[in-house]
């Protein structure tokens, strides 16, 4: 890596535990393969050739909630889907994060009616909201970067 | 050929089932009673070659009660390239009518959807459960007397008040 | 929190076989979160070992109440809802809704607008088929096709963004024409796409068409006979793969499709493989249509001059009182449509996409009903899944090409 030439052959790097753990968490954050509606198509675009989300350590979409760290709620959440969504969230191991992708997931979007949950934050706690209907892949990647920023700033005392 | 298939359908239906014919923007609509709908669709499918039930829906004319609902069928013939619309008026708040699943099997889901959204029951339907809404949902959303379920939009002047009431989820 | 509904076996007793009640076969839940259900489709499977005995689709996890919401908006404002139905075919949804309004209020559309509509609808069809091809191949474990397909899809998204300002939900088609004229770079961008794309289709075919793994997983899988397809109201590529050459672009031409020369590919085998071949061929035919439409793209206005339905251009507002009045009326109240219902259908990438629009003399529609192809086509899944293995079910869900937003509305 080149780092050993700078440090000499000591094999020891000192850094804060927080930083080491947060660095690890940030760069291997596996999202759950879970799309709801229109935004899921843009989420797919973000993973595909032109936008290539794997640059940020997220190439591995896990189909099982048990193996994923990040839930991207991509699309509108209906009253019928809300219990399923919560169950999926409950199955994810800690630490876990949620990105609410798009207007529908964030606040109901253009739909303001009987069928749609107005904001997924009524069902699961949300870390980052991404605006847009649907957000461009760049916007989603920006949302993920914002989440990375947030994770990098986490403190030991907040880990539970 | 194709042009007169529709006129022979109209003629046959008026004679046999007492249907009323109307035309709007070039579309032919035949209004007939619920008792005749199965026989009429059998005749359409077997005699006149209308093999595809394109769509089936209901229209709610609340607060009118007689008739409150119209069931609308869009039936298409691939061989004649013709479309015909059938309308069945239904009275009352919780009407029933015969199911069309014996004639066009794909009426199955369409009728489940109409039951789910409008509360019109179909007799003889093999599996009349709700299809789009959760099974324990109350009411039939597309009825005109069912509210849209509108939620107040947050602006800066009422942001705090709505925010207090909003049920945020916990970890 | 909404309580989880407990579904007891009693409710499903009439749907499963006798053997499920004795425990001889197994009931298995697949979805709503499953990597290959293309959204939030839930399937209840009755399995005898690996063999599917019964398959009971459970839809509605994406039921958005679009029809009800459209009834609460004026005709033109409701157009934004249409994009979000079938989110892979947004222009097609706009198109059918605008055609329905134009039929209901008898509004004319200038020829340039019609040609641009055809170009964008066909590009959207290609984009939709690309997403289908990518995800279908991904389900059958061919990862690279997905990356290839999305590369070309981005070119189409760029063209749509250039016109409507949005990648997916452009709402570019409005009643009476288009929102605005296409930008100057439009023609070059489309020509560039047309130059590149046919070779790219060859690339996909080189990856899949003679690939033994792909053939093994698609041939003779999910055979749908002509009679069954008609009985179950299947339309679109699935119907054409079963031997019925029915395409609404030919049968009931709209928006000037009768001027263009193209073929309707048809196969008779009705299995998953020919449905793949057919969609690939459709992409090539769409390229032909776009080419012809672009070559004879007429000049002229892109929106009707009927000021009762179409707002005046901004430039007129400064000096014409009449324009101000029309503008005010249209954006506050909207236009009214007469009482009466019309049904208009177009050929979407998935089949017959119809809208039944009923007015009642007020500025809001009385009833908007969407006849969506995914809803109709998905009904046939239990029929074609019977007797296949669970692994094949993944191919079958892919081959019907469902979009859950389209199914649940």
What's the rounded mean pLDDT across residues C88-106? 91
What's the rounded mean pLDDT across residues C347-371? 91
B74–C contact, CB cutoff 8 A: yes
What pLDDT does C99 receive? 92
Please list, residue by residue across C152-190, b when 16 or more beta carbons sit within 10 angstroms of its beta carbon and e when fewer do. Answer: bbbbbbebbebbbebbbbbbbbbbbbbbebbeeebeebb
What pLDDT does C5 receive? 47
What's the rounded mean pLDDT across residues B40-67? 87
What's the rounded mean pLDDT across residues C153-172? 90
Residues in A closer than 8 angstroms to B134, CB to CB, are 79-80
A38–C contact, CB cutoff 8 A: yes
Q: What are phi and psi of C318, to 5 degrees?
A: -70, -30
Those of residues 148-187 in C touching chain A at CB distance below 8 A are: 148, 150-151, 153-154, 157, 167-169
Question: How many Cβ atoms sit within 10 Å of the Cβ of residue C144?
Answer: 14
Q: Provide the ipTM.
A: 0.89
As a whole-number percent, the residues of chain B with pLDDT over 70 amount to 98
- Dist. CA A40–CA C143, nearest whole Å: 18
What pLDDT does C281 receive? 92
What pLDDT does A10 receive? 67
In angstroms, the Cα distances linking C306 to C78, C182, C358 are 20, 21, 21
What pLDDT does A9 receive? 66
Nearest-CA neighbor of C282 among C336, C241, C252, C243? Answer: C241
Angle between helices C390-400 and C272-295 (to 10 degrees): 20
Pick the CATH number of C66-304+336-371 from 1.10.600.10, 3.40.605.10, 1.10.3720.10, 1.10.645.10: 1.10.645.10
As a whole-number percent, the residues of chain C with pLDDT over 70 amount to 97
Q: Can you tell me whether residue C391 is helix, strand or coil?
A: helix
Band of residue A1 on the pLDDT scale cut at 50, 70, 90: low
- Dist. CA C115–CA C120, nearest whole Å: 9
Q: Is the pLDDT of residue A48 over 50?
A: yes
What pLDDT does B20 receive? 87
- Dist. CA C128–CA C91, nearest whole Å: 11
Band of residue C195 on the pLDDT scale cut at 50, 70, 90: very high
Band of residue C8 on the pLDDT scale cut at 50, 70, 90: low
Band of residue A50 on the pLDDT scale cut at 50, 70, 90: confident
Q: Is the pLDDT of residue C4 over 70?
A: no
Those of residues 315-334 in C touching chain A at CB distance below 8 A are: none
Distance from CA of B12 to the nearest CA of A (A): 43
Band of residue C277 on the pLDDT scale cut at 50, 70, 90: very high
Q: Is the pLDDT of residue A6 over 80?
A: no
B78/C67 Cβ within 8 A: no
Q: Please, what is the average pLDDT of chain C?
A: 88
Q: Is the pLDDT of residue A73 over 70?
A: yes
Q: Beta strand C173-174 with C177-178: parallel, antiparallel or unpaired? A: antiparallel
Predicted structure pTM score? 0.91
As a whole-number percent, the residues of chain C with pLDDT over 90 amount to 31
Q: Where are the domains of chain B?
A: 2-165
Q: In this structure, what DSSP letter does residue A32 have?
A: B
Q: Which of A118, A121, A122, A127 has the most B C-beta neighbours within 10 Å, making it the best mutation to test the interface with B? A: A118
Q: Please, what is the average pLDDT of chain B?
A: 87
What pLDDT does C198 receive? 92
B148/A112 Cβ within 8 A: yes
What's the rounded mean pLDDT across residues C23-36? 81
C400 and C372 Cβ atoms separated by less than 8 Å: no
What pLDDT does C7 receive? 53
Q: Which residues pair with C368 in a beta bridge?
A: C357
Q: Is the pLDDT of residue C192 over 90?
A: yes
What pLDDT does A7 receive? 67
What's the rounded mean pLDDT across residues A126-145? 90
What pLDDT does C120 receive? 92
- Domains of chain A (ranges; CATH) run 30-150 (3.40.50.12280)
Pick the CATH number of B2-165 from 3.30.420.40, 3.10.450.50, 3.30.460.80, 3.40.50.2300: 3.30.460.80
What pLDDT does B14 receive? 87
Locate C310 and state its tokens. 């179409």
Q: Please, what is the average pLDDT of chain A?
A: 85
Report the neighbours of B using a cutoff of 3 or more CB pairs below 8 angstroms.
A, C
pLDDT in tens, C382-403: 888 888 888 888 888 888 888 8
Residues in C closer than 8 angstroms to B54, CB to CB, are 233, 343, 345, 352, 354, 371
B135/C5 Cβ within 8 A: yes
A156–B contact, CB cutoff 8 A: no
Angle between helices C111-139 and C186-208 (to 10 degrees): 30
Q: Beta strand C351-359 with C367-371: parallel, antiparallel or unpaired? A: antiparallel
pLDDT in tens, C112-150: 999 999 999 999 999 999 999 998 888 887 888 888 999
Q: Which of C244, C348, C369 has the most B C-beta neighbours within 10 Å, making it the best mutation to test the interface with B? A: C369
- Dist. CA C59–CA C372, nearest whole Å: 14
What pLDDT does A4 receive? 65
Locate B57 and state its tokens. 């829906």
Q: Is the pLDDT of residue A8 over 80?
A: no
Q: Which residues of chain C are in CATH 1.10.645.10 domains?
A: 66-304+336-371
Quote the distance between the C-alpha of residue C142 and its chain's center: 24
Band of residue C1 on the pLDDT scale cut at 50, 70, 90: very low
């Amino acid at each position: 890596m080149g780092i050993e030439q700078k440090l000499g052959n000591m094999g020891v790097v000192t850094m804060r535990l927080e930083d080491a753990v947060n660095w690890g968490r940030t760069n291997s954050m596996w999202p759950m393969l879970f799309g709801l509606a229109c935004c899921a198509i843009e989420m797919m675009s973000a993973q595909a050739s032109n936008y290539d989300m794997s640059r940020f350590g997220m190439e591995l979409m896990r189909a099982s909630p048990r193996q994923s760290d990040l839930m991207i709620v991509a699309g509108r959440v209906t009253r019928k889907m809300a219990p399923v969504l919560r169950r999926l969230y409950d199955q994810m191991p800690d630490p876990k994060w949620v990105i609410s992708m798009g207007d529908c997931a964030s606040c109901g979007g253009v739909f303001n009616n009987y069928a749609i949950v107005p904001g997924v934050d009524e069902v699961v706690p949300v870390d980052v909201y991404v605006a847009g209907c649907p957000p461009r892949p760049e916007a989603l990647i920006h949302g993920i970067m914002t989440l990375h920023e947030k994770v990098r700033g986490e403190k030991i005392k907040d880990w539970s | 050929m194709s042009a007169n298939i529709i006129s022979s359908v109209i003629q046959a239906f008026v004679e046999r089932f007492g249907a009323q014919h109307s035309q709007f923007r070039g579309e032919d609509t035949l209004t007939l009673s619920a008792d005749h709908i199965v026989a009429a669709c059998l005749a359409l499918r077997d005699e006149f070659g209308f093999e595809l039930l394109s769509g089936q829906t209901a229209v709610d004319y609340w607060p009118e009660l007689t008739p409150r609902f119209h069931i609308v069928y869009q039936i298409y013939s691939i061989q004649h390239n013709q479309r015909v619309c059938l309308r069945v008026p239904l009275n009352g708040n919780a009407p029933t009518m015969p199911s069309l699943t014996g004639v066009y099997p794909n009426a199955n889901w369409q009728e489940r959807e109409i039951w789910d959204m409008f509360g019109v029951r179909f007799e003889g339907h093999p599996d009349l459960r709700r299809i789009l809404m959760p099974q324990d949902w109350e009411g039939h959303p597309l009825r005109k007397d069912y509210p849209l379920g509108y939620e107040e939009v947050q602006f800066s002047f009422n942001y705090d008040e709505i925010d207090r009431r909003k049920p945020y989820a916990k970890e | 929190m909404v309580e989880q509904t407990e579904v007891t076996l009693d409710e499903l007793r009439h749907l499963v076989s006798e053997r499920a009640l004795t425990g001889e076969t197994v009931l298995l839940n697949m979805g709503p979160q499953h990597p290959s259900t293309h959204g939030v489709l839930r399937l209840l499977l009755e399995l005898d070992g690996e063999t599917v005995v019964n398959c009971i689709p459970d839809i509605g996890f994406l039921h958005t109440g679009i029809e009800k919401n459209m009834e609460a908006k004026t005709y033109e404002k409701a157009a934004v809802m249409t994009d979000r139905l079938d989110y892979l075919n947004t222009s097609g949804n706009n198109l059918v809704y605008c055609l329905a309004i134009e039929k209901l209020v008898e509004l004319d559309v200038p020829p340039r607008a019609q040609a641009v509509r055809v170009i964008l609808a066909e590009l959207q069809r290609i984009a939709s088929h690309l997403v289908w091809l990518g995800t279908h191949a991904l389900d059958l474990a061919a990862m690279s096709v997905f990356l290839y397909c999305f590369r070309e899809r981005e070119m189409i998204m760029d063209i749509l963004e250039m016109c409507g300002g949005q990648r997916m939900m452009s709402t570019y088609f409005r009643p009476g024409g288009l929102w605005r004229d296409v930008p100057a770079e439009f023609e070059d961008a489309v020509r560039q796409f047309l130059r590149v794309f046919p070779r790219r289709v060859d690339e996909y075919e080189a990856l899949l068409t003679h690939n033994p793994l792909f053939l093994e997983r698609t041939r003779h899988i999910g055979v749908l006979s002509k009679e069954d397809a008609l009985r179950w109201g299947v339309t679109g590529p699935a119907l054409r793969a079963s031997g019925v050459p029915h395409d609404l672009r030919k049968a009931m031409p709209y928006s000037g499709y009768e001027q263009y020369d193209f073929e309707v590919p048809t196969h008779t085998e009705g299995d998953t493989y020919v449905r793949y071949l057919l969609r690939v061929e459709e992409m090539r035919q769409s390229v032909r249509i776009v080419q012809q439409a672009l070559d004879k793209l007429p000049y002229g206005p892109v929106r009707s001059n009927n000021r009762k339905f179409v707002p005046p251009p901004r430039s007129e507002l400064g000096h014409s009182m009449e324009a101000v009045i029309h503008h005010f009326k249209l954006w506050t109240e909207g236009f009214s449509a007469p009482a009466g219902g019309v049904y208009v259908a177009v050929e979407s990438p998935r089949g017959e996409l119809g809208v039944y629009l009923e007015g009642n003399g007020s500025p809001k529609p009385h009833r908007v009903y969407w006849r969506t192809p995914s809803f109709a086509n998905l009904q046939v899944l239990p029929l074609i899944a019977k007797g296949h293995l669970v692994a094949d079910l993944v191919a079958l869900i892919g081959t019907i090409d469902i979009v859950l937003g389209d199914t649940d509305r």
